[in-house]
Structures are given as structure tokens and as C-alpha cells.
Amino acid sequence: MTRKVRSRKLKTGRFVFWLDSVSLFVFALLFFCTMLLVGCNGQKAEVVGTGQVKSTPAEQKKAALLKTLDRKFENPNAHFELGQLYHAERSWLKAERHYNVALSFDPTHREAQAAMVKLFFDNGETAKAKTYADIYMNQVVDSASGSFRLGFAFQKQLLDEYAFDCYQQALRLAPNSAGVHRQLGYYYLSKNDKVRAEEYLKRSFQLDPLQPEVAGELGRLGVEVRIPRKTEKRTKRLDKITEESRKEEKG
């Protein structure tokens, strides 16, 4: 009889211990779930409290551009900028569509043309990129200002080979342009080719001595700057374009 009682006590003790273990597990699980719900509610409260979910600068800019297009769809610059955002996201089809729309409203939008070439290089369509680059360069083969603008756009897209070809094309059409010589000088500086940079910057300064930036660069290259007594005839309209492009790049 005594043995049976002890046996029952042992079984009862094990049962109580098992219940205590289950209770602890359940309590811990409930505690975890409660904390998780509190955290989620806290996050929701934060969103409700501020009234909006924070978005990235790119998303904010995209939303602003879409509003601009809602007001006036025929805006090539807005389409180009929107294409750039999609381009950065690697949304190739959306980027290409907006570049095409920009060019449909402004067939001479050099920024969109250069971006289109860059897009095809980035998505692996190399042959298509080269074809488009040739087409765009042929469009400005008789225009010094067009060649310069396209070259500047190519350079901004880091397509330096095409940028250089466009600058050379512009220089052949306007050999006395201080602005084109200056840009070629800066191009060579970016390549750390100081000898050629000096050559083009000196020529630019000779054509237009009223260029403090060029004088400063020449000074840093160790060139003694002297104001020429006589300046050669320049292409004022093209030089104005090159100056505007430089200001735009700094801005």
C-alpha cells in the first residue's frame, strides 16, 4: 500500500512539474506577442502622429515631377529628369519611355539624347548605344553649338569618348572659340593630361583673356599668364553657350 502511495506522489510531482514548464512557456510566448503588438502599435502611432510616411528624396522628386506632368504633359525637361530617376533605379523600359517622350517634344534635347545612349550601354545593348550615338552626332555635324552641347551632355553621362569627339567636331567648325578650347582643356585636366590641358587652356586664354578661371588653372599648371595685347576674333554666340554650360554644371 505504501509503495502505491509513493508511486502516485511521484507521478503527481512529475505532472505538476510538467504543468509549471508549460505555464512558463505559455507565459513567455504571451509576453513576446504582447511586446510585438505594442511595438507595431507604436510604429503605427508614429506614422499616424506625423500624418505621413517618410519617403526618400528620389521618391519626393519623382512625385513632384509627376505633378508637373499632370499640369503640363508636354514638358521635355520633366520627362528627361523623370527618366533619369527611373534610369538610376534600373527601370530600363520606364526610363527609355520618358527619354523618348522628351525627345518627341524637343528633338534637339541633347541631355535626353546622351542619356538614351548611356541607358543602352547600361542595360547591355552596346550595339544599339553606338548606333544611337552616331545618329545623334550626325545630327549636329554642321553645328558647332550643337556639337558642343551634345559633347557636354555626353560628358555629364560619363561617356567621355563621345564627349571628346563632339568637342573636336565643334572645334573644327569654330576654331576660334575660346569656350570650346577651355572645355577641351578641362577635359584633359580630368584625365590628368596636364600637357594637353595646358595647350588648350593657353589657346583659350589667348582668344579671351577675360577668363579668371582659366588664368587660375594655368597658374596652377605653372604657366605665367600675360594678357595678350590683341585678341583674335571669336565666335561670341558659341562662347556664350559654353559659358552657360559651365555655370549649369557648377549649379
**Tens-digit pLDDT string for the chain (251 aa):** 445 444 444 444 454 444 455 455 544 555 555 555 544 444 443 343 445 556 799 899 999 999 999 999 999 999 999 999 999 999 999 999 999 999 999 999 999 999 999 999 999 999 999 999 999 999 999 999 999 999 999 999 999 999 999 999 999 999 999 999 999 999 999 999 999 999 999 999 999 999 999 999 999 999 988 776 655 555 555 666 566 665 555 55
Handedness of CA 167, 169, 170, 175 (dihedral sign): positive
231 close to 208: Cβ distance less than 8 angstroms = yes
Tell me the C-alpha distance between 245 and 114, whole Å.
Answer: 15
Query: What is the reported pLDDT for 229?
Result: 62
Task: Using CB atoms within 10 Å of the CB of residue 178, give its burial: 0 to 12 exposed, 13 to 18 middle, 19+ buried.
Answer: buried
Q: Which domains does the chain have, with CATH numbers?
A: 56-170 (1.25.40.10), 174-251 (1.25.40)
114 close to 147: Cβ distance less than 8 angstroms = no
Find all residues with CB under 8 Å of 238, minimum gap 6, and list them. 144, 145, 148, 170, 174, 177, 179, 180
Tell me the C-alpha distance between 153 and 163, whole Å.
Answer: 8
Task: Using CB atoms within 10 Å of the CB of residue 118, give its burial: 0 to 12 exposed, 13 to 18 middle, 19+ buried.
Answer: buried
Distances (CA, A) of 184 to 5, 12, 31, 166, 172: 104, 94, 69, 10, 13
206 close to 232: Cβ distance less than 8 angstroms = yes
Query: What is the reported pLDDT for 157?
Result: 97
- Reading the block at residue 48, the C-alpha cell is 499616424
Check: pTM over 0.75? Answer yes or no.
no
Tell me the C-alpha distance between 120 and 97, whole Å.
Answer: 13
Find all residues with CB under 8 Å of 152, minimum gap 6, and list them. 110, 163, 166, 183, 245, 249
Query: What is the reported pLDDT for 226?
Result: 77
Q: How far apart are the first and last CA of the chain?
A: 99
Residue count of the chain, please give it: 251
Query: What is the reported pLDDT for 8?
Result: 47
